[in-house]
Structure 1
Amino acid sequence: MITINQYIKLLEKYLKQHKQINTVLTSNEADFAAYYKIVYPVAHIDYVTQRISGDNISHQFEIIIGDLFDPNVPASEFEIYSDCNLIADDLLTYFENQVNVDYEISPDTSIQKFTDANGDRVAGAVFVITFNQFRASDNCITPIDDNLSVAKPVMYYGAVNGVPTSLSGLTSTQATEATLDTGLGNPFVIALDDLYSLELVNDTSASNLDLTALYVRNGTLTAKDNTVYNLYYYEQAVPYSTSHKHKIRVR
């Protein structure tokens, strides 16, 4: 993934090579306004924002291209606007046509004119360039132990057709309490993360009948992230004629 600093270096490298730019600065706008050792024309880079949308991440940079103008010369300001707009288009065209890179730029941007009379009389163009790249949202690359930032399911549960060989099709939860709606199915299973134990199972549809001892350990199942779940299996001797609710509590 390309970092903000790497994008800044790409922008600086291009602008420093441009034949019509004499000074390239990277800072916030306040520092830029206070800087006095400028040989015009100047290009200024300021990081604006980052936006994450699904598997896309975008970084926006504000670019100012400016040059001195003489207010006593008619239309000189518009000459500067024109020249700076061409430089802005040069930069956008350059990055738009790069190949075998890990980014693409947004094709739409608005180039605005500006005039600044604070200190030097400067006019030019200001615009935002947006770099888009693929976002690898893989928790395995985060610098933490055991990837604790992603909560794993505490348990899986549901009605099944025999002893399951995988967790597929079962309902999962990160809570320590859950309710298994039996429907008219039979048997039923609860798969608990190895860090937890089964504390209580009540049939709330049958006067809170305690079913805990009837859910018997029956091997283990392994999730895709290699978490081991202990399987508890219960088969009703006579299938239910109406759906029941098994209230599960673990600790």
Structure 2
Amino acid sequence: MTLNNLIDLLQKYAVGHQQINDFGYGNISGIGAKGRDQVYPLMWVVLNPSRYQGKEMNYSLQIVFADLIYEDGKNELEVWSDQQSIALDTVSYLTDNPEFEFTTDGTANIDYFTEHDGDLTAGVVLSITIKDPNPLNRCVIPKD
């Protein structure tokens, strides 16, 4: 599985999830960047430093799930709860899917946030590692 394959898989998941209206990836600063109108709730994938070790490629991801909150913040707990449910849906999708050759490392962290700069949002950040057991293939090396 390449990085392109992984992002494509996550994007298809987001498009199919009935509680996610937007998808993106890149630096966290890309959320709400100029020229990009967000449609909430959104799923945003941040690529962390990843590691090849023991014949496995370990992709370290932070996946942001965010939605708008009211100015007075009265719905903040509801937004946290809803976004946590979506994050756990994602964990389930990535860990309990017999179609995938990859696995997770068996753990996932969820951090809660409220953002007052730019769009007034709240949500969760899911930290998860995807373990690809077959990242190497000498047959596809572009050589003569």
Query: In which range does the TM-score fall when normalised by the shorter chain?
Result: 0.7 to 0.9
* Structure 2: runs of 5 or more not aligned: none
Q: 1:67: how far off? A: 0.5
Q: TM-score, normalised by structure 2?
A: 0.88
Asked if the contact 1:66/1:125 (under 8 Å) is kept, the reply is: yes
Q: Taking structure 1 as reference, are residues 48 and 73 closer, same or farther at Cα in structure 2, changes over 3 Å only?
A: closer
Unpaired segments of 5 or more residues in structure 1?
A: 146-251
| Corresponding residue number in structure 2 for 1:34 | 33
Of residues 135-144 and 30-39 in structure 1, the stretch that sits farther from structure 2 once superposed is: 135-144
Structure-1 residue corresponding to 2:59: 59
SS in 2 for 1:38: coil
Cα deviations by residue, 1:36-78 (Å, 9 ceiling, x for unpaired): 411211111122222111222211221100001013253x111
Q: What is the CA–CA distance in structure 2 between the aligned matches of 1:31 and 1:23, rounded to whole Å?
A: 13
Aligned counterparts, 1:48-197, within 5 A: 48-74=48-74, 76-135=75-134, 142-144=141-143
C-alpha displacement at 1:15, in angstroms? 1.0
TM-score, normalising length: structure 1? 0.52
**Greater gyration radius:** 1
Report which of the two has the higher share of helix.
2
Look up the equivalent residue of 1:88 and give its one-letter code.
Answer: A
Q: 1:141: how far off? A: 5.7
Q: In structure 2, how many angstroms separate the alpha carbons of the residues matched to 1:32 and 1:38?
A: 7
Could you say which residue in structure 2 is the equivalent of 1:9? Answer: 8
* One-letter amino acid of the structure 1 residue matched with residue 51 of structure 2: R
Pairwise CA RMSD of aligned residues?
Answer: 2.0
Q: Once superposed, which parts of structure 1, at least 4 consecutive aligned residues long, lie more than 6 Å away? A: none
Task: Name the SS of the counterpart of 1:85 in structure 2.
Answer: helix
Distance in 2 separating the partners of 1:123 and 1:113:
8
Q: Is the 8 A contact 1:43 1:66 kept in 2?
A: yes
User: CA separation in 1, counterparts of 2:116 and 2:129?
Assistant: 28
Mark the CA change 1:57 to 1:24 in structure 2 (over 3 Å): closer, same or farther. Answer: same
Q: Relative contact order (alpha carbons < 8 A, sep ≥ 6): 1 or 2 greater?
A: 2
Q: Equivalents in 1 of 2:32, 2:50: separation in Å?
A: 24
Tell whether the 8 Å contact from 1:66 to 1:122 is kept in structure 2 after alignment.
Answer: yes
Change (3 A) 1:96 1:39: same
The C-alpha deviation readout for 1:113-148, integer Å capped at 9, x for no partner, is 011111211000001221112246576764456xxx
Aligned with 1:107: secondary structure?
strand
Paired AA for residue 67 in structure 2: D
One-letter amino acid of the counterpart of residue 69, structure 2: F
The CA distance in 1 between the partners of 2:20 and 2:59, in whole Å, is 24
Tell me how far apart the structure 1 counterparts of residues 112 and 140 of structure 2 sit (CA, whole Å): 43
Q: How many pairs are equivalent?
A: 143
Secondary structure of the corresponding residue to residue 106 of structure 2: coil
Query: What is the percentage of aligned positions where both structures have the same residue?
Result: 29
Using the TM superposition, name which of 53-62 and 135-144 deviates more. Answer: 135-144
